[in-house]
Amino acid sequence: MRLREAWDQGSSATIPSLPGFDKQFHVSSGSDAEAISTYVSIIYIGYAVGAALSFFVNDRIGRRWSYRLYSLVFIIGQMITVGAPNMGALYASRIITGMGIGSLSVSGPMSIVEISPKEIRGLLTAMYTVSMGLALTVANFCVLGIHRNVPSTNLQYQIPAFSVAIFMALCISASFLISESPRWLMMVGRKEEAVQALVDLRRMPADHHRIVAEVQDIETSLILDWGDIHGNSSLWLVAKETFTVPSNLRRLQQVLVAYALAQLSGANSVTSYFIPIMSILGDTGGTERHMFLSGMYGFSKLIFSLISAFFFIDILGRRKSLFIGITAQMISHIYLGVYIKFEQSGPVPNGASTFAIVALFIHAFGYAVGLFILPYVFGGELWPNRIRSFGGAVGATCHWLFIYAIKYAFPEILSSMNNWGAFIFFAGWCFLGLLYTYFIVPEVAGLTVEEIDMIFQGPWYNAFRRTKRGSVINGLEEGSMHDIEKEIKK
């Protein structure tokens, strides 16, 4: 699901450098951040709209049919891109495409969390973002191949749009071979199908103690949420619970801050404006070199995301992963800011120039380990069953609005801060992110979705003391388990 967003990020960073695109849509230069800012950023308006509207669909038609519907919207947007006669039509196509991607950004992590065993929930949710590194790489090298081998016609930008639409059609077909979410099936009163889905997912018999325990956990959670095994709530009741229950407000705060920090750390801006940034760093290697490095940047995200998924998220835990990732981003930003400042004053050593490019890849490592994967993990795993769809929709909507604001403003941030100041600005936000992680973010690795409910009880200022299962299961920090359950029922 994440592949669609990543494909767009990768292709939108390089397609404006294609002569056929520039000729058709009268773009002055793909290396000019201001010239391509609207093209790059306007899709995120569609992302936000799609994410917001997904709440009205996800719980009504299920995770699989939601996936098919959103994928179809994405395909329609891409087909409009293929036939766009002018920039206005291209902008409209990007908003429609964004609506499909934005909706998928809610249902994707939510679905993975709902089907994942607790021991590898972080790993499996991380796979959602690992696909972004794969898509970034494929998209960038696809555009590079087009630049080299396809004449300067409309086909240069039409091929990437049509190719990903074909892939999405295949994904819709493949979705008929996957299982529905057991938790959603239980929510709508289809218990037998839910048990069968768990049997299919876990490859265990229905009477296995693991299956029996998981079904009981889901049922208990739904009873605590609704007072019975299944039921429906109005938007007003779900919104009221989300915004008035203190523990849910803490969840919302953590999800929104994580999404905001991901953008204020400058990571997505580096991805989408990679070629203009290479020009700012003084690299004069030409369009093909910049496209190649952009492709390698996407490939590095793929490798770093795989490393993060297997060795960081569940093994080291969420908090340590955030510390390592944000620190790496901050150091790379500081180096880039200092380098650009000195480069503007006169010649710099070749080694310093080379390391400036290396710093971009260190930044990619830090982002992959921390703020790339974990906001999506938080956005899917922190919510109670009753409000997971709504909470995910609110979080993703704000996420895409954050991205739109930062990406649209990035050229202005560069110019107003004389280029180098922008990277120091992002480094400052990384430092604030470290403080936030230490004081606010609790460790939830290894907890079931139902156990996570309990860790958000109590004051926010000592959340960093509530780590893993001990304080949750024993209920020692905020009172007895009885008090915690009473609070959940409220």
Contacts of 424 by beta carbon, 8 Å cutoff, 6+ apart: 333, 334, 337, 417
Token pair recorded at residue 347: 């010649």
The values of phi and psi at residue 443, to 5°, are -85, 125
Residue 233: what pLDDT?
Answer: 60
Query: How far is it, in rounded angstroms, from Cα 333 to Cα 328?
Result: 9
* CA distances, 364 to each of 156, 276, 357 (Å): 28, 17, 11
Whether 313 contacts 123, CB under 8 Å: yes
Half-sphere exposure of 93 (CA within 13 A, CB side): 22
Identify the weakest region by mean pLDDT among 112-121, 150-159, 286-295, 477-486. Answer: 477-486
pLDDT for the residue 316:
84
The residue-averaged pLDDT of 352-359 equals 88
**Taking all residues of the chain, what is their mean pLDDT, rounded to a whole number?**
81
Helices 191-202, 209-226: inter-axial angle, 10-degree rounding: 140
Instruction: State residue 310's pLDDT score.
Output: 82
411-463: pLDDT as tens digits:
888 888 988 999 999 999 999 999 999 888 888 777 776 677 777 776 666 66
Instruction: State the residue for tokens 């069968």.
Output: 196
Quick: pLDDT tens for 293-311. 877 887 888 888 888 888 8
Across 12-21, 97-106, 323-332, least confident range: 12-21
Between 113 and 479, residue with greater pLDDT: 113
Number of C-beta neighbours around residue 28 at 10 A: 11
Which two tokens mark 99? 């609506």
In CATH, the architecture of 2-181+238-440 is Up-down Bundle (1.20)
φ, ψ (nearest 5 deg) of residue 467: -115, 125
One-letter amino acid identity for 292?
F
> pLDDT-based confidence at 74, cuts 50/70/90?
very high
Q: pTM surpassing 0.75?
A: no
pLDDT over 50 at 469, yes or no: no
Percent above pLDDT 90 for the chain? 21
- Give the burial class of 363: count Cβ atoms within 10 A of its Cβ; 0-12 exposed, 13-18 middle, 19 or more buried: buried
